[in-house]
Amino acid sequence: MNIRKAAGVFGIAAMMAASAFAHHSFTAEYDQNKPVKLNGKVTDMKWSNPHGWIYVDVETNGKIQNWALETAGVNALVRRGWKKTDLPPGTVVIVDGWQARNGSPTANIATITFQDGRKLFAGTSNEAAPSK
Partner 1 sequence: MRFPLSCHVKLQWRWSEVFLLAALVGAATAAFAQAQPAAVRLPRAANGKPNLQGIWQVNARAAYDLEDHASRLGMPAGRSVVEGDVIPYQPWAAAKKIENFKNRASADPVGKCYFPGVPRIMYMEHPFQIFQTGEHVAILFEWSHVYRLIYTNGKPPLHDGIESWMGDSRGHWEGDTLVVEVKGQNDKTWFDMAGNFHSGEMKVVERYTMQSADAMQYEATIEDSKVFTKPWKIRVPLRRQTGLDRILEYQCQAEKEEANGEFEREPKTWYPDAGSEVVVPAFTGTQEPDVAPAKTGTNLRRMADGKPNITGYYQPDAGGANYGLERHEKVFLTPASRGLVIDPKDGLLPYQPWARQERIEREKPYRGYDDPTAHCFPAGVPRGFYAPAPYQILQTPGYVVFLFERMAWRIVPLNRRTHLRDNVRLWQGDSIGHWEGDVLVVETTNLNGKTWLNEVGDVVSHAARVVERFYPVDANQVIYRATVSDPVVYTRPWTIEIPLNREPEELLEVACHEDNGDLQHLKDVRDEYRAQQKKAQ
Does residue number 84 form part of the binding site for partner 1 (CB under 8 A)? Answer: yes
Degrees to nearest 5, angle at CA 85 with 79 and 91: 120
Residue 107 near residue 36, CB atoms below 8 Å:
yes
Degrees to nearest 5, angle at CA 122 with 6 and 25: 150
Does residue number 53 form part of the binding site for partner 1 (CB under 8 A)? Answer: yes
| Stretch binding partner 1 (CB under 8 A), from 3-11, 73-81, 88-96, 113-121 | 73-81
The region that residue 103 occupies, defined by phi over 0 for left and psi between -120 and 50 for alpha, beta otherwise, is left
| Stretch binding partner 1 (CB under 8 A), from 3-11, 26-34, 36-44, 58-66 | 26-34
Which residues contact partner 1 by CB under 8 A? 17-18, 20-30, 32, 47-51, 53, 68, 70, 73-75, 78-79, 83-84, 98, 100-102, 104, 106, 108, 124-132
